[in-house]
Structure 1
Amino acid sequence: MRIAFIGAGSIFTPLGLYTIATSETLSNAEVYLVEIDDDRRRFVTALAEKIGKTFRAGFKVTPLKEAEELEKYGLDYAVISVEKERYERWRLDFEIPHRHGIKQVLGENGGLGGLAHTLRVVPLVLGIARRIEDINRDAAVFIYSNPEPRVTYAVLNYTGLRNVYGLCTGYLERKEMLAPLLKVDEREINFTAAGLNHFTWIRELWVRGEDAYPRLKEALERKPEFEPLSQLLYRAYGLFPSPDDNHIGEYLSFAWPLVPDEKKGLKWIERTKREGEEVRKLLRLFLRGLVPKFAFNRFVKFPDVAMNVVEGLEGAEKLQEAINIPNRGYIDLPEGTVVEVPARVSPKGVKPLRVRLPRETLVPLKVQAEIQRLSSEGAAEGNVEKVVKAVLLDPVVHDAEAGLRAMAELMKAHLDALPQFDEGDVEVVERTIRA
């Protein structure tokens, strides 16, 4: 097995390495760590070697600077987790629309910030995906880069890669949030959920194999302050959403006043950055031998999602509770939309499961499905007309002129990271306002 982590300096890579090291199926894999930043590449290489030695794994580690170097080795699996100046640009994605009065909760995956994010990341990932295509178009490619379903849509529709899957830890985070409410360990919770990434509906919920919805209902009645937006949706539609208020809130026009201040905007961006730094601090301590093996084991509650799927493809069948794939009747949304559904994974492949949802729960998802298509295609094609349409469809855009002015400003601010656009495209957005 040849497994490449592209953007290996990402916070996802150490968990992937740990999962490989502790897996009977994967522990002898050849692992390629592709990272353009020299310091991060050296760090993750040392970390990989430490993890291999600590857990007595037989995997071989090869550090690489560019994805093109993989051609020398070949590959079977690739994990893409890349960004450019993530936090600096994320702040702009939130602040610029906010100055125009657009109350987007996070500005990462939805709203105008999510659109600007899409325009930046899609060409970055497409460049990598095309290099993988030249090496092995049958390789399984897993995408962690946000906005994950939009990026996945672009790779599926603008390359010849045949096995592309978007992955996210959101469903695991939902378990962690529900565990204290239900007074159980998060590993005892299972659910069937479907929808779009960062906005799914939990169709069935179990604790130790028993229906846990009655238990959840009682727990929520005792804690009305717990996730006000999710509770509102649950009372209205009868299904609890996932992963949490601020992620769901990116796609809803009425979310802003319901999401607590500490979970939105710049406070959330800073918290996310701080949490990443804390994880890296722990990893540095582990590298120095100051975090023992048993403590590292306790820190990792769930296997890496990508490597969990690879285990299923290479070994015994397993259920993957959330995977992002193009819709083929798995949910009542347009064909080809990248949807998040459960799937059975085995050496025969990934077999998504059909999940039926009440029709009214699908309405906000249908709007986002169209925005997903327009934003992905606009980013891949450099099509500014599709970008304008995506702006005007977005539920968080309360005013057309404000939305278009904000989008023009966002494109100007990020133009150095938008190779598919130029100043003339920004003028197209501005002319739409004047007209």
Structure 2
Amino acid sequence: MKITVIGGGSTYTPELVEGLAALPIGELVLMDPEAGRLEVVGSMARRMFAGAGHPGWVRWTTDLDDAVDGATAVLLQLRVGGQRARHRDETWPLECGLVGQETTGPGGLAKALRTVPAVLRIAERARALAPGAWIVDFTNPVGIVTRALLDAGHRAVGLCNVAIGFQRLFAGLYGCAPGELAVDHVGLNHLTWERAAWVGGVDVLPALLAEHGPALAAETELPLELMRGLGVVPSYYLRFFYAHDQVLAEQIDRPTRAEEVMALEEKLLAMYPGLDVKPALLEERGGAHYSTAAVGLLESLLGDRGDTQVVNVRNDGTLPFLADSAVIEVPSRITAAGPVPLPVRPVEPLFAGLVGHVSAYEELALDAALRGGRARVEAALLAHPLVGRYDLARGLADRLVAANHAYLPWAA
């Protein structure tokens, strides 16, 4: 089979390649418009396959049609505008007193506006040249991008590493194998809560909160008393809502994450030419367990395993307070026909209210990404729970358009 990675020149790609080396891949193709980085990363990926004794052929290309032609699956990990665009997403919202983050709030909207059109162009070429191929999206904002793909009729699944990260963390703290523990993970991409951790039919999350509270608080960077009071473990991204002002104060005095990543990438790209295994430094790049999640998802989609994994999927009545067309992040049964969300017990009002609010924003954000126009950008910002004020939405819309002018044809 042929597996294609769009955004294959990313310094993160060796993490993914390590996992893909466990699959019976005949051809692994890395595609990226940045030829220089692609050569460095692609050469390392080829050495990694050889070092693992994998017979598959690894190659790289800047030609999209060449990359997707005849692919069995296309993995998306692109970043339109690179880390420099991310840096802007993490800075201009600060001017209006809001956190700067690449998937949450105004920065997340900017990334969606840049990303959705690019992803849809890629998916259309895949549909033409590789009918039936699965598109696995890890490109943020995953929920909005996945909905765009599904609305356009593509065979797509959204994937995030938050759920598998918590599963591994909980299993390690409890002292069991990851496969023995299942999480009750519910919400939207980057807006989720772990409401239970099941081992042998017993919910061990209360015990984990009681016995390992400090470790869980360190992981989420949220107060332990908040988690114990709610009886759940929120994802790290809830920090931008539950502790907004604290995060904002921290961001004003620190380099952006984009600046940190650019410095890290420079070091990694200097190391890669001499390596055939991923370096320990790559752990600082983020995205822990994505490779494991991606490989597991591919195995189930292509092998019809019928197991349960947490993915981004159509709501279709799973959360009755959301539209059927919404994309949610929940445990789903994965077969060759695609993911089907499993039944979810009623979502508590405190969580459901925020999910409903952000889902409405995501619908407006997708509309702005597809049809453009400053008025649609402003409407999406006004709908976001971190904005919600007309004057603030207007100022943010002006800054967003100015910072992303080169990527928004309608703004010309």
Instruction: Say yes or no: does 1:128 pair with 2:122.
Output: yes
- Who is 1:337 aligned against? 326
Whether 1:314 aligns to 2:302 is yes
- TM-score, normalised by the number of residues in structure 2: 0.85
SS where residue 173 of structure 1 aligns? helix
CA contact (8 A) 1:79 1:144 kept: yes
RMSD: 3.3
> Displacement of 1:203 after TM fit?
2.8
Whether 2:197 is the aligned partner of 1:205: answer: yes
C-alpha separation in 2, matches of 1:184 and 1:32 = 36
- Equivalent residues of 2:160, 2:290 under 8 A apart: no
Work out the CA distance in 1 between the residues paired with 2:346 and 2:253.
28
Conserved 8 A contact 2:109-2:365: yes
Give the Å deviation of 1:142: 0.9
Match of 1:62 among 59, 64, 68: 59
Is structure 2 residue 144 aligned with structure 1 residue 150?
yes
- Deviations 1:91-140 (Å, cap 9, x if unpaired)? 22222121122x22x42112111111111111221221121122234211
Separation (CA, whole Å) in 1 of partners of 2:91 and 2:62: 33
Q: Give the Cα separation in 1 of the matches to 2:251 and 2:147.
A: 31
Unpaired segments ≥5 residues, structure 2? 281-287
SS in 1 for 2:91: helix
| Residue 398 of structure 1: how far off its partner (Å) | 6.0
- In the alignment, which residue of structure 1 is the partner of 2:347? 358
| Cα distance per residue 1:334-365 (max 9 Å; x no partner) | 21111111122234543321222434121100
Residue 228 of structure 1: CA displacement? 5.5
SS of equivalent to 1:31 = strand
**For 1:126, what is the secondary structure of its paired residue?**
helix
8 Å Cα contact 2:106/2:381 also seen in 1: yes
TM-score normalised over the length of structure 1: 0.81
Structure 1 residue corresponding to 2:222, chosen from 218, 229, 244:
229
Determine whether 1:92 maps to 2:92.
no
Q: Is the 8 A contact 1:80 1:141 kept in 2?
A: yes
**Among candidates 381, 387, 390, match of residue 391 of structure 1:** 381
1:181 shift after superposition? 5.7
Partner of 1:216: 208
Q: Are residue 80 (structure 1) and residue 76 (structure 2) matched?
A: yes
Cα 1:124–1:303 change in 2 (3 A) is closer
- Greater shift, 364-373 or 7-16, is seen at 7-16
Distance 1:128 1:179 in 2: 37
The answer to whether structure 1 residue 305 and structure 2 residue 290 are counterparts is no
Q: Is the 8 A contact 1:175 1:189 kept in 2?
A: yes
Q: Which amino acid aligns with 1:49?
A: R
Q: Say if 1:302 and 1:133 are closer, same or farther in 2 by CA, change over 3 A.
A: closer
Query: Is the CA contact (8 Å cut-off) linking 1:34 and 1:41 kept in structure 2?
Result: yes
2:275 alignment partner, SS class: helix
Residue number among 29, 32, 38 corresponding to 2:26 in the alignment? 29
Deviation at 1:61, TM superposition (A): 2.3
| C-alpha contact 1:188 1:208 (8 A) present in aligned 2 | yes
The amino acid that maps onto 1:342 is: P
Q: Deviation per CA, 1:2-53: give whole Å up to 9, x if none.
A: 211111112453233222322xxx3243222212111122123212221221
What SS does the corresponding residue of 1:229 show, helix, strand or coil?
coil
Contact kept in structure 2, 1:8 and 1:35, CA below 8 Å: yes
Give the match for residue 239 of structure 2. Answer: 249
Quote how far apart the aligned CAs of 1:290 are: 9.9
Taking the TM superposition and a 5 Å limit, the aligned residue runs for 1:275-294 are 283-287=272-276
Aligned residue number for residue 108 of structure 2: 114
The runs of 5 or more residues in structure 1 that have no matched partner are: 293-299, 424-435
Read off the aligned partner of 1:9 and give its amino acid letter: G
Whichever residue aligns with residue 363 of structure 2, its letter is: R
Question: 1:240 aligned to 233, 236, 259, which one?
Answer: 233
Contact 1:189 1:205 in 2 (8 A): yes
Report the 3-state secondary structure (helix = DSSP H, G, I; strand = E; otherwise coil) of the residue aligned with 2:9: coil
Question: What is the rounded CA distance, in whole Å, between the counterparts of 1:224 and 1:199 in structure 2?
Answer: 17
Paired AA for residue 164 in structure 1: A
What's the offset of the Cα at 1:145? 1.2
Q: How far apart are residue 172 of structure 1 and its match?
A: 3.0
In structure 2, C-alpha distance between the alignment counterparts of 1:408 and 1:77, rounded to whole Å: 39
Aligned partners of 2:90 and 2:256 also within 8 Å: no
**3-state SS, counterpart of residue 340 of structure 1:** strand
Asked if structure 2 preserves the Cα contact closer than 8 Å seen for 1:41 and 1:63, the reply is yes
